[in-house]
Structure formats: C-alpha cells, structure tokens
C-alpha cells in the first residue's frame, strides 16, 4: 500500500473556515463506508474503481464490521438506486438477525436477486479485498 503525502494545516489560518452544517445524516451505521472513503483518499490507487458503492455497518477499532438496524430500508433504497455493490456486516450464518442473513431474507421477500451486488463482510479488510479482487 502506498500512501499519499499530506501536510499539516494551521486551522486558524485556513480559509474558508469549516462549519458543521445542520444535518440529520450520521450515526454509527455509516462507519464502514466512511472508513472506505477516508482510506480511498489516503492511498494512491482508487480502490473503488468508479463503482457506485453503498453499504452499512459500524466500524471497530480493529477494523471489524458491526451490526446495524434498518436492513430492509437500506437494501431496498440501495437496490432501487442502482448501486453496483452493497457491503453489509456478515458475522454469523446461524444468527437469525445477522445483517447479511436478514438482507438475503429481504431480497427473497421482494424478489431481488442478491447475486453479485450484495456482499457480506466481517471487516474493513474484507471490503478492500473484495474491491481489489475486481478487475480494473
């Protein structure tokens, strides 16, 4: 992995000053994809390869993906938005509420083929590995 070179910035002398806008977007379920965004900025290769990527999952200090809520809404929104890939936590096949297992049930319920675009991951490393395994 090759990282880009960055320089420290004096926030007091930087213009325009950054302001945190009023928004209702946030929460821990975006951690996995926010990590991908930051990672992709720091490395020289675009690991997203231009794919329309969506996903969900908390992110642990060790890079592990964690469960979230609202699986059905997130799957349907991503599918109808035409994403190329949707990353979702997949930690235990035998757990009824495992997010990936739940997403498969949603796909079955509404007649969506999950093959190729719904990807269960246990960690951020799984996300990067899946993306790098795709041909450019």
Query: Do residues 78 and 54 make contact, with C-beta atoms less than 8 angstroms apart?
Result: yes
| Residue 52 appears among annotated catalytic residues | no
Q: Which of 29, 52, 64, 94 is catalytic?
A: 29
> Which residues make Cβ contacts (< 8 Å) with residue 35, sequence separation at least 6?
59, 63, 124
Give the span between the Cα atoms of 92 and 12, in whole angstroms: 47
Q: Which of 4, 52, 74, 94 is catalytic?
A: 74
| Residue 64 appears among annotated catalytic residues | no
Q: CA angle, corner 82, sides to 118 and 69, nearest 5?
A: 50
Q: Which residues are catalytic?
A: 29, 74
């Amino acid at each position: 992995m090759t990282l880009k070179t960055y320089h420290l910035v004096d926030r007091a002398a930087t213009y325009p000053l950054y302001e945190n806008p009023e928004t209702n977007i946030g929460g821990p379920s975006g951690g996995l994809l926010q990590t991908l965004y930051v990672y992709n900025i720091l490395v020289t290769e675009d690991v997203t390869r231009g794919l329309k990527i969506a996903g969900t999952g908390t992110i642990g200090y060790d890079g592990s993906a964690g469960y979230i809520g609202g699986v059905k809404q997130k799957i349907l929104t991503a599918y109808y938005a035409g994403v190329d890939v949707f990353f979702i936590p997949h930690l235990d096949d035998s757990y009824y509420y495992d997010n990936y297992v739940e997403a498969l049930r949603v796909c079955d319920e509404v007649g969506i083929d999950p093959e190729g675009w719904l990807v269960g991951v246990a960690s951020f490393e799984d996300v990067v590995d899946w993306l790098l395994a795709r041909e450019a």
